[in-house]
Chains A and B, each alone.
Chain A
């Protein structure tokens, strides 16, 4: 069977063996959980509770008041002790509901549905929205919004993303192995919700055991083996690899007739529609060279990062860098008090040696960045434009098409921070167009 793939990309050290064999362990909620109102792209949820309120697990504590937003639920039963700004994994402070866990795990009454596939499209969409489900692969776009593109858009393919191309992470891998039935049910519900006739699940060929597991439940759903290459799970790359189509520049996947959803999102949808359960927990890989016992946990949203690290045996030595997400697109953390949110698929702790940021040398125009760029940009030019504040040229050379995968910075033998300067240029281009708009 030939593997599907895209043009460009890199083969970093995957280091998935650290946790690929470790089954998901349930981590009970800590004494205090911190639940941010912003766990997705879009407008933050608005708190519906105040200090002193008693809450039940699964109860709405933040409601979506804007079209692009998602509600937030309490992962535990207990008492609200504060509604205040707290450190967030995005590096800022975000309005959060702090709940003291009473340890009783009392739930709101859930509305299960024994035969969820028979439900109407609008009912499925409502349940997905009400459950606060957002893209769990990392981006966090509200799922219900993504399933409802403009009326004239014809969606024919639902693509379920099981590639998990980020090195180190195995949370999706373990999910597919241990909850394949949920992934498949979620895929069917998602397909019904967006009107796609065809469902394809894409999985990198380093997870053949997960493919075998999915196939047991798949029925008519097609499962495609993908080349193990980063960023195979990038939305645009996955669409190109599986369907041969390209998402228009500056456009969205529905314009190519495709909706892409992560496997963890699909499993969450299954639980939301079948069991009536809102999104209040997720699988997180805790790994890295300085983690004592790397492993996978199912944790309540709102659990501080340090609780997970302690549960994994703590650090073997003082870490140099702690990331949320994988090493290619993850966010460096300054505080381990920030809590797990819906988009956190992994915690990666790097040693002091691994955390050293190398000194850049002059660009020797080796063009490796050009050869690996999965959107066919000229990263070396964009970097120069970003450094020299040539915003118009950066735009002209396609800076806004950059998906920020980081392949260019990774491959550069002169250790130049190419992506950093491309980001600078993108921010300036966005700022300029806002100015012109006003």
Chain B
């Protein structure tokens, strides 16, 4: 089953689309001397520009290895990796890395440099003018929600969450098309993690960057992702949207991951936005749900479906309106949608 999946998503060499944020893995493999089986095994996958793609899987499944082959911290044993239509090994390695933002779990800020210097390392390497760097610094600080007065401070004077924000700003400093994030929020406490996740979703919608995000946290993956790549033992198991993973799990491994027998768990993994998007694709906009008068309960696109059930039950209505943060009406979502999208897709047993 999974081999079918791989061959169907394999990409031909002759026609790589020329979009600069696109990443294509073509039969990429990598083994380490310490392991008997390959860390990454014949992975072929195409990541569309500007998507936020999460690499999900248990530890040792090869997700970090796959990520680090993009900025060549690891070199593949075989296979090709294309970035915006260019094979990455045709570029000088440091030139490549300066075009890719890189965020790691332990942040790795330079302790002897101020926040300002930390962020401007890559722009300096690229020979940017001081003026341009300073403008960029201001813009980045605003983007990550830290005051400009933090610029002359040292990393040790910041909290863990603030340090990770600076890590993100540093990765974005030279305005890369691609951002690689290796379990960036794993070491942050739960409250800050949720906040950082929301900020990342927000940032991604503003910035048009391709983001490859590694995590072993299923909730985090489903919360952030446009698309999820599930890996196990070096192999790509399934590549799809959160909704696809929940409604059409490729095999038992995915079913276990999304908790197929537990409908509430499944609901918790998919958000309102996925429903709206899926409906648009099938052109059955607002299928079956009647408009609501006096909407005192409003859904947000990022709400998960379990909260939707809870809100529907509380409101006593059959559907609720969805509005974005500015208050624009995006559509309605109700019981009918949930039935149609999820429950009808349950494996018949």
Chain A bound to chain B: no
> Footprint of B on A, CB under 8 Å?
none
Q: Which residues of B come within 8 Å of A, CB atoms?
A: none
